[in-house]
Chain A
Amino acid sequence: SQQGEEDPQALSIQEGENATMNCSYKTSINNLQWYRQNSGRGLVHLILIRSNEREKHSGRLRVTLDTSKKSSSLLITASRAADTASYFCATDEGKFYFGSGTKLNVKP
């Protein structure tokens, strides 16, 4: 399968709480990227972490990468209702392969 696995598949939290999503992949990568998708829309790039990096921050986002475990996590701190969307990790192996996605619902 070209897809990586993400968990949880769905996550429902209250506004202000933190949301953590995990991504596992199978092959060697150049980098890993996280994207957000609102229902029925295109993708928005959130953050890129290179294979030689372990952690990266961007605003309320924190991404970690463990190449030995072939896994990554995305943490959204102090979530807002506007963060409600589907989140996908994508591994760059020359081509981009997407994980199965996590559907995040942030309740106001």
Chain B
Amino acid sequence: GAVVSQHPSWVICKSGTSVKIECRSLDFQATTMFWYRQFPKQSLMLMATSNEGSKATYEQGVEKDKFLINHASLTLSTLTVTSAHPEDSSFYICSARDQGAEAFFGQGTRLTVV
């Protein structure tokens, strides 16, 4: 299947700093990318959907000013957690798809804010 690369796989940052997570589709053009958040032992919660070249659509309850999403090209989307706090510590996963039905997932980024 297609490959989605997510970077970094883990990051530790200080409270109040910002962290950027990258999601790249390596062998296909991702017209749509999705960002999810997963707390321990819970399911994946969709945070936002982004289409290349347009603003992301955020799910209800997700702060767009805190979780900045950029989908500037057909192969790259970034999620920036701004002014991170310990409660933002979580596992963040991106997925991407082209015109097909299947979505391909990155390996996830474990964010720890101390």
Interface size on B, residues (CB 8 A): 24
Alpha-carbon distance A101/B1, docked complex (angstroms): 23
Whether the pair B43, A96 counts as a contact (CB closer than 8 A) is: no
**A interface residue count range (under 10 / 10 to 19 / 20 to 34 / 35 or more):** 20 to 34
Whether the pair B110, A95 counts as a contact (CB closer than 8 A) is: no
Among B13-21, B77-85, B100-108, the stretch in contact with A: B100-108
B41 CB to closest chain A CB (Å) equals 8
Q: Kindly count the residue-residue contacts between A and B in the assembled complex, taking CB atoms under 8 Å apart.
A: 59
Alpha-carbon distance A3/B42, docked complex (angstroms): 11
When the two chains form the complex, which single residue of A31, A45, A50, A88 contacts B43, counting CB atoms closer than 8 Å? A88
Alpha-carbon distance A1/B58, docked complex (angstroms): 15
Q: Does B45 contact A (CB under 8 A)?
A: yes
Known interface pairs A48-B102, A92-B101; A42-B107 also in contact (CB < 8 Å): yes
Whether the pair A42, B46 counts as a contact (CB closer than 8 A) is: no
* Cβ–Cβ < 8 Å partners of B107 in chain A: 41-42
* Cβ–Cβ < 8 Å partners of A96 in chain B: 34, 46, 95, 103
When the two chains form the complex, which single residue of B43, B49, B91, B108 contacts A101, counting CB atoms closer than 8 Å? B43
Alpha-carbon distance A33/B101, docked complex (angstroms): 9
Q: Which residues of A contact B (CB under 8 A)?
A: 2-3, 30-31, 33, 35, 40-45, 48, 50, 88, 90, 92, 95-101, 103
